[in-house]
Amino acid sequence: MKVLGKSIVNRLTKKKLTISIAESCTGGILSSAITSVSGSSKVFTLGVVAYSNQAKTKVLKVPKN
C-alpha cells in the first residue's frame, strides 16, 4: 500500500490537486496509505471512516436505500 500512497501523492502534487476521502469497508486503509507518505499533508485534506450504516447516512448523507 505504501507504493500506492506514494504514487497518489506524487500525481496530486504534480497536478497541484488535493484529495478528500470517505471510506467504509476499507476501514481507512487508503487514507493510511496516503498519509504514510512524507509531505502528504500538502495534498490530503480530509479523511472520514464511516463504518456503520447510521454514520453513513448521518455524516456522509448516503441514502438509506
Q: What is the per-residue pLDDT across 9-32, written as a single tens digit (0 to 9) for each?
A: 999 999 999 999 999 999 999 999
pLDDT(2) > 90: no
The C-alpha atoms of residue 29 and residue 1 are separated, in whole angstroms, by 8
Q: How many CB atoms lie within 10 A of CB 54?
A: 10
pLDDT(1) > 90: no
Per-residue cell: 22: 470517505
pLDDT of residue 56: 95
pLDDT of residue 5: 96
Distances (CA, A) of 54 to 26, 31, 47, 64: 17, 21, 18, 9
pLDDT of residue 16: 98
Q: What average pLDDT is seen over the chain?
A: 96
CA dihedral 57, 34, 9, 60 (to 10 degrees): 10
